[in-house]
Amino acid sequence: MALLIAVLTLVLLVSASTSPAIALSLNHYEKTCPDVESIVAKAVERATMKDKTVPAALLRMHFHDCFIRGCDASVLLYSKGNNKAEKDGPANLSLHGFYVIENAKKEVEAACPGVVSCADILAFAARDAVVLSGGPTWEVPKGRKDGRTSKASETIQLPAPTFNISQLQQSFSQRGLSMDDLVALSGGHTIGFSHCSSFQNRIRNFNATHDIDPTMHPSFAASLRNVCPIKNKAKNAGANGSFFNSFR
């Protein structure tokens, strides 16, 4: 059931668009660019063979894109003039893998000039990233339009790693997402790694009474303290390249 919820939720997320008037379709490129998904999948696979962190990077990038203005690829836009774009917002400074989307776009353009949106390419790439990590596959509805507005200031809307459950619920509900959606999308973090700095305050010097956050399971806290020592050089915890179909 957890897998089913995760897949359905992710499909709903990648189906989102910035305008309710845009109708997505599974056969949107059937006549104009029939090989687009194959082209993108091969680009993602090549990149993953060289860098095992690519799948997690693409999945996270897609989520960060969709959570702000819908799945419109506005996270790919560069800052220009006085406008600071989403990718330069504090929450997105750690995003990487943009080159994978850019390379896929170039190959798609060579086959089908001016047809496929970057938003659709990013949606395909996120799906392919999950598949390459041993996760499920799904049909991606197509026909998204690329956004032309990208503001770093709006990235404050992204849920922070320090959010408690009430803050997370409020953040997700503002986008029409339920508690089931919250759990499933959080479970999507099953690939990649966590930054020790994101939870360091919960495993050491939590408050005047407790050294460790009392809401955290003791054995889990102990494992985190082990991989994130005080004099930490690795900075990352729980690195994982496989997609797990259960989340607790």
96 a catalytic residue: no
Of 92, 119, 98, 97, the C-alpha closest to 36 is: 119
Residue list for the binding site for substrate: 159
Distances (CA, A) of 33 to 48, 108, 137: 24, 8, 21
Report the amino acid identity of residue 186. S
How far apart, in whole angstroms, are the C-alpha atoms of residue 176 and residue 174? 6
Query: What are the beta bridge partners of residue 194?
Result: 237
Residue list for the binding site: 65, 70, 72, 74, 86, 159, 189-190
Question: 67 and 157 in contact (C-beta within 8 Å)?
Answer: yes
Total Cβ atoms within 10 A of residue 80: 9
- Spot the catalytic one: 28, 64, 195, 217: 64
Residue list for the binding site for heme b: 189
Residue list for the binding site for Ca(2+): 65, 70, 72, 74, 86, 190
Query: What are the backbone dihedrals phi and psi of residue 43, each rounded to the nearest 5 degrees, phi first?
Result: -65, -40
Question: 36 and 172 in contact (C-beta within 8 Å)?
Answer: no
DSSP state of 176: T
* Helix (H) or strand (E) segment spanning residue 195: strand 192-195
How far apart, in whole angstroms, are the C-alpha atoms of residue 135 and residue 140? 15
Active site residues per annotation: 64
